[in-house]
């Protein structure tokens, strides 16, 4: 191992002062050469109609493919192995590509000049933004609260054009992973209910310098290390066209799940029930950071499948919190819970209800559900969740809540169980009253970046020296047999 690491460091050091500068210069040169072609072809375009297939546009398209292939060659991608055959746009309007792990996943895009789905800000990137605009991407307007719906509508419009628009190459995972498994697919590519062609990517180098994930090297470091590799090996495989069944056309989530299973089999990797939306839960930071995300991830997956997250906006959450407050702690059975959410009783809703059934009597305090929903909806805004939870539990005259209620709230928000608030009330010199207001707690949290470690005590507390895998969403076990 020592000899391998030594030789690797020696190789990177040598390549950094010899090959890397030359490769970087050539890659930049070919990008600049491609720019005027892409800029010219983009002049006078309409956002609503496809490009006319004139001879000069076809010539520019061919030139760009050659230039971009030369660029990748100079970057060390000397041979790009392609397996299978890409279907024409008239047969398959959408290509689903996985796993998505790197910005080098642009290789199949530049080889096919397919459209992609990308954020609007990418259009402003010097040089590269013009090349992106050339392939007629579907832009996502993140500042628009209706962006997701508009993006899906545009994908559907192009997919149903009968091949007039370029194929859309979609990475349905929605974020970069380390290729160890396939996370849940977003349904956008599958909502049109049309045939799709799965495409799998494989990076075959022994040393992985490609992955650009949540936790890992930055973009420039990845570029540097990759250009220092003597050769970068990538394989693109076009799988057979997947024709959805009637049931899959009516259920995009089922369609996406079955295509994901097929692609995982081709890649020989496992499926993992994580999604792009789980990222902020996993990466929780701050005084009220989530200490064990397992139960919240499970809950998040259930509410996503029920469509509760996509339909839940801040105003609706606050309205549900007001309705829960009026119940004054009265517990709801499954039928009443379904009526509260205006949903039919299903197995999935029954599973959500069971998560919060502490005593096993078939009834839940809906305030716990709303606190959990706020936690997964706003993982980056825990104080907002805490404030909303206080409103559901606090006394109208004093604004205080009982220690037992605060313990329940924190157990849900932190993903832990058996929270003891004795250190907190000792700090506030309120050990006798065992009551607290939101303002008092907020001030303490803002003054202490490690609030949950300093002033709380719970099972598998970091201070105890062991961190376990918990399974609770409200201080109780998800499995009654535990």
SS3 for 57?
helix
- Provide the β-strand partners of residue 117: 138
- Delimit the domains of the chain by residue range: 2-272, 279-464
Residue 338's pLDDT is 92
What are the distances in angstroms from CA 372 to CA 162, 348, 433? Answer: 44, 16, 27
The per-residue pLDDT for 67 is: 96
Question: Which of 151, 59, 153 lies closest to 113 in space, CA to CA?
Answer: 59
Q: 116 has which bridge partners?
A: 169
> CA-to-CA distance for 390 and 398, rounded, in angstroms?
12
The encoded tokens of residue 346 equal 């299903």
Q: Is 137 left (phi over 0), alpha (psi -120 to 50) or beta?
A: beta
Tokens of 472: 């609770």
CA–CA gap between residue 312 and residue 411 (Å, rounded): 23
Smallest Cα–Cα separation from 306: which of 230, 376, 243?
A: 376
Sign of the CA dihedral with 419 first, then 423, 429, and 431 last: positive
Q: Tell me the pTM.
A: 0.74
Helix or strand run (H / E) with residue 166 = none
Give the model's pLDDT for residue 308: 75
SS3 content of the chain, % helix, strand, coil (to 5): 50, 10, 40
pLDDT of residue 109: 95
User: Is the bond leading into 31 cis (omega within 30 degrees of zero)?
Assistant: no
Predicted pLDDT of residue 23: 96
Sheet of strand 234-238: strand arrangement: 80-83, 234-238, 196-203, 94-98, 168-170, 115-119, 138-140
Task: Give the phi and the psi of residue 118 in degrees, each rounded to 5.
Answer: -150, 160
Mean pLDDT split into 10-residue runs, the chain, 482 residues: 79 92 96 94 79 83 95 95 94 95 94 90 86 89 71 89 90 90 90 95 93 83 94 96 94 92 95 79 84 87 76 72 89 93 90 90 93 90 92 89 93 90 84 85 91 84 44 38 40
């Amino acid at each position: 191992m020592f000899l391998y690491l030594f030789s690797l460091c020696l190789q990177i050091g040598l390549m950094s002062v010899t090959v890397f500068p030359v490769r970087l210069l050539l890659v930049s040169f070919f990008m600049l050469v491609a720019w005027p072609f892409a800029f010219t072809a983009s002049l006078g375009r309409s956002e609503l109609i496809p490009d006319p297939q004139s001879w000069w546009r076809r010539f520019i398209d061919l030139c760009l493919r050659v230039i971009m292939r030369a660029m990748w060659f100079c970057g060390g991608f000397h041979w790009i192995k392609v397996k299978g055959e890409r279907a024409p746009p008239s047969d398959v309007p959408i290509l689903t590509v996985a796993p998505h792990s790197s910005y080098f996943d642009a290789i199949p895009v530049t080889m096919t000049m397919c459209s992609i789905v990308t954020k609007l800000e990418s259009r402003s990137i010097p040089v590269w933004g013009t090349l992106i605009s050339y392939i007629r991407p579907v832009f996502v307007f993140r500042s628009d609260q209706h962006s997701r719906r508009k993006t899906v509508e545009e994908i559907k419009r192009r997919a149903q054009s009968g091949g007039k628009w370029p194929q859309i190459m979609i990475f349905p995972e929605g974020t970069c992973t380390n290729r160890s498994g396939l996370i849940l697919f977003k349904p956008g590519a599958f909502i049109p209910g049309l045939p799709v062609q799965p495409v799998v990517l494989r990076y075959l180098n022994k040393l992985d310098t490609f992955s650009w994930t949540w936790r890992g090297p930055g973009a420039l470091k990845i570029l540097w290390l990759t250009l220092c590799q003597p050769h970068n090996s990538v394989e693109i495989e076009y799988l057979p066209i997947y024709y959805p069944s009637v049931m899959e056309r009516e259920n995009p989530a089922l369609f996406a799940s079955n295509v994901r299973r097929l692609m995982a089999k081709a890649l020989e990797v496992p499926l993992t029930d994580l999604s792009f939306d789980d990222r902020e839960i996993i990466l929780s930071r701050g005084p009220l950071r989530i200490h064990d995300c397992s139960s919240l991830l499970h809950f998040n997956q259930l509410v996503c499948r029920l469509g509760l997250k996509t339909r839940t906006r801040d105003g609706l959450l606050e309205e549900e919190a007001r309705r829960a407050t009026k119940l004054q702690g009265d517990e709801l059975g499954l039928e009443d819970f379904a009526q509260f959410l205006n949903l039919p009783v299903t197995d999935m809703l029954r599973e959500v209800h069971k998560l919060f059934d502490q005593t096993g009597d078939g009834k839940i305090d809906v305030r716990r559900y709303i606190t959990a929903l706020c936690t997964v909806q706003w993982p980056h805004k825990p104080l907002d969740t805490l404030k909303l939870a206080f409103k559901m539990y606090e006394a109208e005259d004093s604004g205080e809540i009982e220690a037992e209620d605060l313990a329940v709230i924190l157990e849900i928000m932190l993903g832990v169980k058996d929270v003891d608030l004795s250190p907190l009330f000792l700090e506030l010199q309120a050990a006798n009253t065992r009551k607290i207001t939101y303002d008092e707690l907020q001030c303490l949290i803002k003054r202490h970046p490690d609030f949950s470690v300093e002033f709380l005590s719970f099972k598998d507390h970091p201070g105890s020296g062991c961190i376990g895998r918990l399974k609770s969403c409200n201080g109780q076990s998800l499995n009654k047999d535990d």
